[in-house]
Amino acid sequence: MKKTFLLLLLCISITFTSCFEDRDDNEQISSTLDIQNFIYRGLNFFYLYKADTPELANDAFGNTEELNAFLSSFDSPESLFEFLKSPQDRFSLLVDDYIALENALNGITLNNGMEYGLVFYPDGSGNVFGYVRYVLPNTSAANAGLERGIIFNTVDGQQLTESNFNTLLSPVSYTIGLADFDGQNIIPTGISVSLTKAEVTENPIHIATTLNVNGQKIGYLMYNAFTGSFDSQLNAAFAQFQAEGVTDLVLDLRYNGGGSVRTATDLSGMITGQFAGELFYTEQWNEDRQAEYAQNGVFTTSLRSGEPLNSLNLTNLYVLTTNRTASASELVINGLTPYINVVQVGGATTGKFQASFLLYDAPAPDFSRSQANPGHTYAMLPLVFKTANANGTTDYIDGLMPDIQLTEDYSNLGTLGNVNEPLLAAALNAITGTPVPMRTPFIPLDELSESKAFSPVHQIMIAEKE
């Protein structure tokens, strides 16, 4: 029997946080070396790409003194972490505040409600403009009347650039300067909007509706994060699709950077249902951990709570993607491909097929929250295994390629959920043959970043095992 191991608690209680905050003020603060020892121990034990870093080898140091001398040669935990990471690792994460990380894993962030992308000007100047993707309800952005498609190019009066956007958009409060974009030129409107961040819990189910297209019932689900605490609501959306007689589904993952592996598995079971117990993905760990920890992921029939899945038993799925579609989103596409016809509409995805779990400074092998060193709040989300589908497909470092390639036009984004929105319209055309509305030719532009990049769990795929 495999060792029972809890890799992540997705539901962090208020009590836990309160216990941390009430600790004795006189408690010993950990030294930099203490934190660096934790980083080394965690990566030496679980890191997927351990073999790429000679210093992580089990025999790299002859004794504790040699190891400590090596660790002490780095001036910060962050510099050590970056050194130990493999060149092929784009996603492992070290944080100095695991409480904020835990909140983010539950969809709780400091947020003004404006979810945006940042795009380079077409003139090669290095200047940047933002476009609003969608707005979260009951937030500063919603109260200010912002909506999808609004363009902004300044923050607090300063032009956004590739070198200053991070600094300008980080504060709790700032003012954006609005602009128009005609596909080539950014023209300031003189209008400004002040925004303030507050603690927000985002429901990742942004839109769940049934479209009636030429008498055909087509479900449309815009799903923006694989957040385990909303699994029951996700299942309820599929109950709604069942009740409304949905025969096809368009799954909009264009801005979904990932999240829980278990939620991705459950969602795939809601889409299908006819493959219960069959192989959804396999795991590939480092050589030391493979035998003990690797388990096959299989199609499920119930949520973690025991609630039965509401399944549509579909044989076709239409998925909307962009280069911001990552990790658990890609797991759904890749995992379903051996079983049903998955039609991908939009752009190539990010290319993240590796999973992480949360390591606290605690004894191996659990590295558990309950035993965490009280002297600091550093934690890690290192890559620990990579996934492959039932056909063995993995290592898609350039992303999953679309079957129908489309790029978003920032000057004319369309309304999410509307049958004329370009990506959705292309999917509906593939399903029903409904003509696709004509689009004015435009110049595709390069995206620099996005609002979700400020989250500590940006594009992280979280593994949970019990």
Q: How far is the C-alpha of 299 from the C-alpha of 201, rounded, in Å?
A: 28
Residue 19: CB atoms within 10 Å: 11
Domain ranges of the chain: 109-201, 205-354+386-439
| Residue whose token pair is 């959920």 | 417
Burial of 109 by CB count in 10 Å (0-12 exposed, 13-18 middle, 19+ buried)? Answer: buried
Return the beta strands (E) in 308-459 as ranges.
316-321, 341-346, 354-356, 359-360, 379-381, 383-388, 404-405, 447-450
Q: How far is the C-alpha of 409 from the C-alpha of 135, rounded, in Å?
A: 18
CB-based contacts of 65: which residues, under 8 Å, 6+ apart?
none
Vertex 399: Cα angle to 396 and 404 (nearest 5): 125
pTM value surpassing 0.95:
no
Q: How far is the C-alpha of 218 from the C-alpha of 51, rounded, in Å?
A: 47
Q: Domain 205-354+386-439 classified CATH 3.90.226.10?
A: yes
Residue type, 337: T
Vertex 448: Cα angle to 347 and 199 (nearest 5): 100
Torsion, Cα 354 357 358 364, to 10 degrees, reads: -120
Phi and psi based region of residue 52 (left: phi greater than 0; alpha: psi -120 to 50; beta: remaining):
alpha
Sheet holding 93-95, edge to edge: 93-95, 379-381, 359-360
- pLDDT, residue 8, reads 38
Q: What is the CATH number of domain 109-201?
A: 2.30.42.10
- pLDDT, residue 27, reads 62
Kindly list the averaged pLDDT for each block of 10 residues, start to end, along the chain of length 466: 38 36 60 98 98 98 97 98 97 94 89 97 95 98 98 98 97 98 95 97 97 96 96 98 98 97 98 98 98 96 97 98 97 98 98 96 95 96 97 98 97 97 97 91 93 89 74
- pLDDT, residue 11, reads 36
Partner residues linked to 134 by β-bridges:
115
